[in-house]
A and B are shown apart, each in its own frame.
Chain A
Amino acid sequence: MKKLIFISLVLFTGALVVLSFKSGNDEPGSYPVIRKDSVASVKAFKQVYTVLMSARCMNCHPAGNVPLQGDDNHLHTMLPQRGIDGKGVYAMKCANCHQPTNTPGLHTPPGNPNWHLPPANIKMVFQGRTPRQLAKQLIDPNQNGHKDIKKLIEHADDGLVLSGWNPGEGRKLPPMSHAAFKKAWITWLTTGAFAPSK
């Protein structure tokens, strides 16, 4: 039953998208499952995975409650804690150091107006996940912040996701451009969000 509702929702949004494509409006969140293609999907996810496991993404999706730091994913010095809302605790809230924009200079706090980790109830851990585990986790509403496919697609343009490509001086960029990532992300999702075998 649930499955049926999901499919119909997808179809419904798909219809909308077709329309919006035609009108040239690329308003996010309106992509359909165009066709199921497990090979293309898995292939796309493998690209996605390299980005999500890069320092710029994984450092804020740690296995524990402390963010990671640096291109070598070491535990963030001074061990700031996730907190309930993902925004740190007490005198060590993320925004106490992480400003709305990157602070100039090497080894200074990178910035974003919404700098945070996933909240405690949905930790969205990337660190240590195999491609298969991560793919399944990403589309599991109970583990992805109740994001449907539309919300997931939108998430590619989330400000904090984008900041991975504006990491501040001296930090390594994700292994592909944001456009390439977004393309792979959407391909993965719209070809059925298949998980790799491992």
Chain B
Amino acid sequence: MISLTVNGQPREVAADPNMPLLWVIRDLLGLTGTKFGCGVAQCGACTVHLNGEAVRSCVTKVSRAAGQQVTTIEGLSTNNNHPLQLAWQEADVPQCGYCQSGQLMSAAVLLRENPNPTDQDIDDAMSGNICRCGTYPRIRAAIHQAAKMHQGGAKS
């Protein structure tokens, strides 16, 4: 059994320590908001927070998460109200929506570490997340918007 904390909940999974965290999250814990896109850390659809860092869960063995804190899109906020989620909705970012969990989890680390990111910062943080629908211009705008909201006192 491997113990880990997922979205604040202690969880135990009977998994091979080599099993990627992605499949533990999706197939064993049933949290399907985290997506499979490439399996080789190329697309970022599987991005979750491991102790606050935006790891690609498709290449992260569950053993690395043992005893650690994992946050998935389902745990990004209590009520879909992270400034980024609000900005995403306001800017109509999602199209097919499949990559957006990963995009949001990446953007959340950016915003936490840099409350007022420049376009270059956004490139530096977000180029690991592919969106085949091409929502990049709106993601960029929404991150700027969330930064404003954040500074305006919205809770993170």
* B128 at interface by CB-CB < 8 Å: yes
| B125–A91 CB distance below 8 A | yes
| A90–B41 CB distance below 8 A | no
* A97 at interface by CB-CB < 8 Å: yes
Shortest C-beta distance, B73 to chain A (Å), equals 14
List of A residues within 8 angstroms of B109 by Cβ:
90-91
The distance in angstroms between the C-alpha atoms of A105 and B123, with both chains bound, is 28
Q: Given the interface contacts A91-B109, A91-B125, A91-B128, does A97 sit within 8 Å of B53 by beta carbon?
A: no
Q: Given the interface contacts A90-B114, A91-B107, does A96 sit within 8 Å of B56 by beta carbon?
A: yes
| B59–A79 CB distance below 8 A | no
| A89–B124 CB distance below 8 A | yes
Q: Which of A77, A78, A89, A103 contacts B59 (CB 8 A)?
A: A103
| A92–B128 CB distance below 8 A | yes
| A81–B124 CB distance below 8 A | yes
The distance in angstroms between the C-alpha atoms of A110 and B109, with both chains bound, is 23
Q: Given the interface contacts A90-B113, A91-B109, A100-B64, does A107 sit within 8 Å of B40 by beta carbon?
A: yes
| B64–A99 CB distance below 8 A | yes
* A95 at interface by CB-CB < 8 Å: yes
Chain A: CB-nearest residue to B105: A91
| A90–B40 CB distance below 8 A | no
- Which of B122-156 touch A at CB < 8 Å? 123-129
* A80 at interface by CB-CB < 8 Å: yes
* A93 at interface by CB-CB < 8 Å: yes
The distance in angstroms between the C-alpha atoms of A107 and B106, with both chains bound, is 22
* A108 at interface by CB-CB < 8 Å: yes
- Which of B41-74 touch A at CB < 8 Å? 41-42, 44, 47, 53-56, 59-61, 64
Shortest C-beta distance, B124 to chain A (Å), equals 5
Shortest C-beta distance, A144 to chain B (Å), equals 27
* A109 at interface by CB-CB < 8 Å: yes
List of A residues within 8 angstroms of B47 by Cβ:
91, 96
The distance in angstroms between the C-alpha atoms of A90 and B127, with both chains bound, is 11
Q: Given the interface contacts A79-B123, A80-B128, A96-B54, does A91 sit within 8 Å of B59 by beta carbon?
A: no
* B121 at interface by CB-CB < 8 Å: yes
The distance in angstroms between the C-alpha atoms of A163 and B125, with both chains bound, is 26
| A93–B53 CB distance below 8 A | yes
List of B residues within 8 angstroms of A105 by Cβ:
40
| B41–A79 CB distance below 8 A | no
- Which of A5-34 touch B at CB < 8 Å? none
A-B contact pairs, 26 of them (CB 8 A): A77-B42, A78-B127, A79-B123, A89-B113, A89-B124, A90-B106, A90-B110, A90-B121, A90-B124, A90-B125, A91-B44, A91-B105, A92-B124, A92-B125, A92-B127, A92-B128, A93-B54, A95-B53, A95-B55, A97-B56, A100-B64, A103-B40, A103-B41, A103-B59, A105-B40, A109-B59
Q: Which 10 A-B pairs have the closest CB atoms?
A: A91-B106, A90-B125, A91-B54, A97-B41, A78-B127, A90-B110, A91-B109, A91-B125, A103-B59, A78-B128
| B residues with CB within 8 A of A | 40-42, 44, 47, 53-56, 59-61, 64, 105-107, 109-110, 113-114, 121, 123-129
Beyond the given A78-B128, A90-B121, A91-B126, please list 10 additional residue pairs across the A-B interface where CB-CB is below 8 A: A79-B127, A89-B113, A89-B124, A91-B54, A91-B107, A92-B124, A93-B53, A96-B53, A100-B64, A107-B40
